[in-house]
């Protein structure tokens, strides 16, 4: 049996059993899980190897690229600004970003973007890595983009555009890019190990991603899904050890707010704990009314590409989705990542959860879902 470290409170031992079971039943390499209840940590477990090349062990403070869990950082930031009266999610994006209002995008709202309904899942422009890193070229490309469908009539995953588009709205309101705003307003004050744009000082505790054997390949480069995930081929996927791949410190360093966060399990769980209950006795970030607004379903079922993986979307967050990401109930919300990472919070149960790993298993990855099942059982569900 794979050895792990950490602890659980009385009543949460089943989480440890499930965590150990993941090493028995899956090709787990290194991973961690953290659970908060009523704003207090009740489980924090980690184990395995952070770097397969050197054998470096996973530690309590190990961080890892968490892909689209980044959307949770952006969504919480947007909802916080809305709660403060600085952002109206149902106003046109152009209220904050006038240059956006062209080529059929005049009526698109932030809510439409949060629900993946804006018709902008990918850009026509092919931008180099340096242009993506510079931010402004992506913003200009979004301004020139025409929607692929009439905004609001259907949905499709807005992989990277989600982060850049909402991130530019955040920048127009706060004067900070989304990663900088998140650290200034949320991550820094709460001491969360979660970043969009990883400081070089944190590189030494970053786990290296590896692929599981037999992982399903992406469709061809012209397929819309591949274009969405790779920004037209510039960001290779998974391409872990390619130049500017997902193990490249240069990629970690830039603000890629749709899919480029680096975080620990405790950092992600702590974000949702802060959002739904307050962290360690602190005031909760998001009010009950704000959470009610966030968890109203906006999109589900087959989208523009005709796929239905079972995901239900609220405003920037995945909702309890029994066949995709089962959570705890109707007020659960979170985001998952391409490597199997998953984090969510629920203010009805007063619980938050974060799981991260460095072995990318791909479609059908059940590791996080098993841990969530264990949490549900600990709560009597």
pLDDT of residue 215: 75
Q: Mean pLDDT of all residues in the chain?
A: 96
Residue 190 has pLDDT above 90, yes or no: yes
- Using CA atoms, how far apart are residues 299 and 13, in angstroms rounded to an integer? 36
- Using CA atoms, how far apart are residues 274 and 193, in angstroms rounded to an integer? 13
Indicate the pTM of the whole model: 0.97
Mean pLDDT along residues 226-247:
92
Residue 1 has pLDDT above 60, yes or no: no
Mean pLDDT along residues 92-119:
98
Per-residue pLDDT band for 239 (boundaries 50, 70, 90) equals confident
Tokens of 192: 């969360």
Alpha-carbon radius of gyration of the chain? 19
State pLDDT tens for residues 327-369.
Answer: 999 999 999 999 999 999 999 999 999 999 999 998 789 999 9
Alpha helices in 120-242, H assignment, sequence order? 129-134, 136-144, 161-174, 178-182, 188-190, 224-230
Residue 50 has pLDDT above 60, yes or no: yes
Residue 233 has pLDDT above 90, yes or no: yes
pLDDT of residue 194: 98
- Using CA atoms, how far apart are residues 266 and 31, in angstroms rounded to an integer? 12
Per-residue pLDDT band for 127 (boundaries 50, 70, 90) equals very high
State pLDDT tens for residues 290-319.
Answer: 999 999 999 999 999 999 989 999 999 999
Cis check: omega of the bond before 49, within 30 degrees of 0: no
Top-confidence residue, 322 or 364? 322
Mean pLDDT along residues 14-30:
97
User: Is 4-76+180-378 in CATH node 3.40.710.10?
Assistant: yes
Mean pLDDT along residues 25-45:
97
Mean pLDDT along residues 167-175:
98
């Amino acid at each position: 049996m794979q050895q792990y470290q950490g602890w659980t409170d009385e009543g949460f031992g089943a989480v440890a059993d499930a965590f150990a079971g993941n090493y028995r039943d899956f090709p787990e390499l290194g991973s961690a899980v953290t659970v908060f209840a009523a704003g207090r940590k009740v489980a924090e477990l980690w184990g395995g190897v952070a770097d397969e090349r050197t054998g470096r062990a996973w530690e309590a403070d190990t961080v890892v690229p968490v892909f689209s869990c980044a959307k949770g950082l952006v969504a919480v930031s947007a909802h916080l600004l809305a709660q403060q009266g600085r952002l109206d999610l149902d106003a046109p994006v152009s209220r904050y970003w006038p240059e956006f209002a062209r080529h059929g995008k005049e009526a698109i709202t932030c809510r439409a973007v949060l629900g993946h309904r804006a018709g902008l899942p990918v850009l026509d422009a092919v931008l180099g890595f340096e242009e993506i890193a510079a931010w402004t070229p992506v913003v200009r490309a979004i301004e020139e983009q025409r929607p692929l469908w009439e905004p609001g009539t259907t949905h499709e995953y807005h992989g990277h555009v989600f982060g850049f588009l909402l991130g530019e709205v955040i920048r127009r309101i706060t004067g900070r890019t989304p990663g900088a705003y998140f650290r200034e307003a949320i991550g820094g004050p709460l001491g969360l190990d979660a970043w969009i744009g990883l400081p070089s000082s944190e590189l030494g505790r970053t786990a290296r991603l590896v692929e599981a054997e037999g992982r399903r390949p992406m469709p061809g480069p012209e397929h819309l899904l591949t274009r969405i995930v790779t920004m037209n081929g510039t960001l290779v996927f998974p391409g872990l050890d390619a130049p500017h791949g997902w193990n490249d410190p240069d990629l970690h360093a830039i603000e890629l707010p749709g899919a480029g966060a680096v975080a620990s399990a405790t950092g992600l769980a702590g974000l949702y704990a802060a959002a739904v209950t307050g962290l360690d006795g602190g005031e909760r970030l998001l009010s009950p009314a704000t959470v009610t607004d966030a968890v109203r379903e906006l999109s589900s079922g087959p989208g523009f590409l005709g796929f239905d993986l079972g995901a239900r979307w609220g405003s920037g967050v995945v909702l309890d989705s029994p066949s995709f990401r089962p959570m705890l109930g109707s007020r659960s919300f979170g985001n998952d990542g391409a490597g199997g990472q998953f984090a969510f919070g629920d203010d009805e149960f007063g619980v938050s959860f974060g799981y991260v790993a460095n072995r990318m298993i791909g479609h059908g990855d059940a590791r996080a879902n098993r841990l969530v099942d264990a949490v549900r059982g600990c709560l009597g569900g």
